[in-house]
Structure 1
Amino acid sequence: MLILIITVYKLLYFSDLNGVYLMSFIGSLVVILIATTLAGHLAARAGIPAVLGQLLIGIIIGPGVLNLIRSTELIEQFAEIGVILLMFMAGIESDIQQLKKYFKPALLVAVSGVLLPVIAMGSASLWFGYHFQEALFIGVVFSATSVSISVVVLREFKALNGKEGATVLGAAVADDILGVLLLSLMITLIGSSGVTGHGNSNNILAQLVFQGLFFAGVFLLVRWIAPAIMYLSNKLLIPTSNTISAMIICLSMAYLAELVGLSGAIGAFFAGIAVGQTPTKKIVDTNIEPISNTLFVPVFFVSIGLSVSFNNFLTSLPFITIMTILAILTKWLGGELGSILAGFDRNSGRVVGTGMIARGEMALITAQIGFNAHLLDKSLYVDIIFTIVIATLLAPLLLRWSLKRLHKAI
């Protein structure tokens, strides 16, 4: 695979007037798409999430290993669109009805699974000497859960529609919403003043007011505006009118979120929830997923890999090791504790707990947003990426083990 990628890379080089060899943006896209397609396939064959394969190949072809591709402004712009579309699809696929059905256990699992990482991993970060704001944001990053990775394992054991699988799905919906709200608050309170600076209290107050209006607008969007827009889109004599209308809602909300000091990805997430409550949900999801997954999302995951460096890896190894252990234990214990409080037995609680461990794309997106908002410096951001990858690779193995224990106990 690497020989093919390097060969294509050499073919796509061109020379400028000074004789310096450069790679065009389109050439970079060709290499990225070939690399992520092959890496995703090999990862799936190995039984690990395809997104991790895409992330790992980004590290390999980036400055950290082969140095075939470096991050450029155009790659970063494409990656930003990829984040927006990923969050939009996450919103569309958030099953609010599932959350309602298993509201009590899901909410208990979500709350405990958010609080434990924030407290434990935030405290550990303080112990390593990071500022309070950085430590708090690290906790917020690891409060996220990527349920798509757990769904594959739950489906394999035919446990997706059982109480454990339904609770994991419901908790993931609540988990995402809580995580987005925490992220919004962090960007507002810290992003205005920097990691160690002090912002103007009047500016922060004004920003909070505008963000309050934004979230009021989100309620109106979900309740009335999005259904009205999607209804009108059915009247347009254009085959893709539903998808175009959904994209207008997505990008508009992303733009408005940026205007009030939030991340565009947060606006896109709530836009996805709004569109997901309309009858056009399946049509929009079916049409937008290929747009994002064939171009923008692969660039996003590769862009994360391009930022990874092994220069200080050995120095950071104690931090990465301890944070990986905490990343696993906090979600596991948080999910298991919430399940037991909801009336589950120990074996069922263990399944729910291990089902919440995987971080995947949600944690990667949160870390990327924090890095772009200057809440994390480059070296800390790279350490967090390593921790996310390792914890997510171990998550399916632990979930399989807990499901086998559950089946033996039945």
Structure 2
Amino acid sequence: MEHVWGTAAIWMALALVASLFSIRLGISVALVEIAVGVFGGNVLHLEVSEWINALAGIGAVVLTFLAGAEIDPESLRRHLKPSLAIGIAGFVFPFLGAAAFARFVAGWAPDSAWIAGIALSTTSVAVVYAVMVETGLNQTELGKLILAACFINDLGTVLALGLIFAGFDRWLVVFAAVTALVLWPLPRLTRWVIQTWGGRVSEPEVKFLLLVLFALGWLATRAGSEAVLPSYLIGLVVAGVFQESRALMLRLRTIAFGALTPFYFIKAGLFVSIPAIISRAALIGAFLLVKMVAKLVGVWPLTRAFAMERRSGTYTTLLMSTGLTFGTISALFGLTNGLIDQSQYTVLVTAVIGSAVVPTLIAQTWFLPETAPAGAREPGQASVSTLPAMESSSLSEGED
């Protein structure tokens, strides 16, 4: 028992250090937690116990749920046509491109190549959302469109991870049927739970949502799929409820980021090998380039087709090229299930981290759209107070 508490203290100390560095540097805490995990694995030689695995798994499920719940249903409906087109292209092109590169250029086995395609097909809702808030673009139609497209992109990633490696047997049928039956009445049931028992110290509404997440997560893993698949869908269907009850969202976010996700992200960094990064730096760079080029080929022409001006289209393409949470979840799934080895895992996670940083820096430095509020712009850049004719008609084609 002493060993358990000592291990818990070390991991929470690393999580605290990551939080402080994140605040100081002004970057995503997930990135810093992964970096701290790399330090813990390569310098401190930390190991992962069964209970840490459990906490990390719960953290991934709750984080995936929160990502789905962040989507504004009204924005998704209003921008349905462009967000569907951009989101699907943002998934398909890097998924196939990275998988083909891994299989036929890097010489990876088929299952390893599929994991590479899935891990590099993602976009990062966390990174994009932070950028949107920082620049004020989350209040514009452009920002809402980008966030909606990110959701569609990541939904493709989660579905691919859940279905490609699922065991197609009676359990998969049971999982699909039960999930459909649960999701349909879930928004009304969640509202009823909040109205009937909400606001109590015992937090029954939080426990209710965790029950749904854990039950469907168990069914997903029993079917040979991944627990994050139903989590993302649950988040989406209750997103409207969370728009009405932001306090509930904040409580769940506190639980997740305070006590659960640090174990997930530190664990993700723990398996990254510094010697492998050094020896395979060229391959890491190649995977990052493949992802960015594939996103450019798939997304940028669509931004022009939907009448975005050139600067906004490039900015959208770059933010769609980011990746973090689902990329690391996919890579860790591959490592845990023996689909990739530690060296391949290191290559993928390092490329994913690079995709969270490089496209964001390029976008913010050179392509911040004219739609950004004046206070968010760099000195010397023109300030524009109106949304360019991005052709509100194009952006609103999903409206009834």
Change in CA separation of 1:282 and 1:212 when aligned onto 2, cut-off 3 Å: farther
Match of 1:294 in 2: 258
Q: 2: CA distance between counterparts of 1:288 and 1:266?
A: 19
Alignment counterpart, residue 328 of structure 1, candidates 280, 284, 292: 292
Give deviations 1:217-268, integer Å, cap 9, x for gaps: 3333232145225414532485412111111111111112122221122222
Match of 1:311 in 2: 275
Q: 1: CA distance between counterparts of 2:194 and 2:139?
A: 34
Alignment counterpart, residue 182 of structure 2, candidates 221, 227, 247: 221
Change in CA separation of 1:273 and 1:216 when aligned onto 2, cut-off 3 Å: farther
Alignment counterpart, residue 388 of structure 1, candidates 346, 349, 352: 352
Is residue 2:183 matched to residue 1:183?
Answer: no
Q: Is the 8 A contact 1:39 1:57 kept in 2?
A: yes
After superposition, the CA RMSD in angstroms is 2.4
Match of 2:37 in 1: 58
Is residue 2:82 matched to residue 1:105?
Answer: yes
Q: 2: CA distance between counterparts of 1:86 and 1:154?
A: 19
Q: Is the 8 A contact 2:90 2:121 kept in 1?
A: yes
Within 5 Å, give how 1:46-125 maps onto structure 2.
46-62=25-41, 64-67=42-45, 69-125=46-102
Q: Is the 8 A contact 1:255 1:267 kept in 2?
A: no
Q: 1: CA distance between counterparts of 2:94 and 2:107?
A: 18
What letter is aligned with 2:312?
Answer: S
1:133 Cα deviation from its structure 2 partner: 2.7
Q: 1: CA distance between counterparts of 2:33 and 2:309?
A: 37
Q: Is the 8 A contact 1:184 1:263 kept in 2?
A: yes
Q: 1: CA distance between counterparts of 2:278 and 2:97?
A: 23
Give the SS at the match of 2:278.
Answer: helix
Match of 2:312 in 1: 348
1:313 Cα deviation from its structure 2 partner: 3.1
Q: Is the 8 A contact 1:226 1:249 kept in 2?
A: no
Give the SS at the match of 2:139.
Answer: coil
Structure 1 unaligned spans of 5+: 1-13, 15-22, 193-203
What letter is aligned with 1:125?
Answer: A
Q: 1: CA distance between counterparts of 2:155 and 2:77?
A: 14
Q: 2: CA distance between counterparts of 1:116 and 1:229?
A: 37
Q: 1: CA distance between counterparts of 2:73 and 2:175?
A: 21
Output the TM-score relative to the length of structure 2. 0.85
Q: 2: CA distance between counterparts of 1:174 and 1:274?
A: 14
Q: Is the 8 A contact 2:97 2:290 kept in 1?
A: yes
What letter is aligned with 2:145?
Answer: T
Q: 2: CA distance between counterparts of 1:213 and 1:97?
A: 31
Change in CA separation of 1:386 and 1:227 when aligned onto 2, cut-off 3 Å: same
Is residue 2:20 matched to residue 1:41?
Answer: yes
1:213 Cα deviation from its structure 2 partner: 4.5
Identity between Structure 1 and Structure 2 (%):
20
Structure 2 unaligned spans of 5+: 372-380, 385-400
Output the TM-score relative to the length of structure 1. 0.83
Q: Is the 8 A contact 1:351 1:406 kept in 2?
A: no
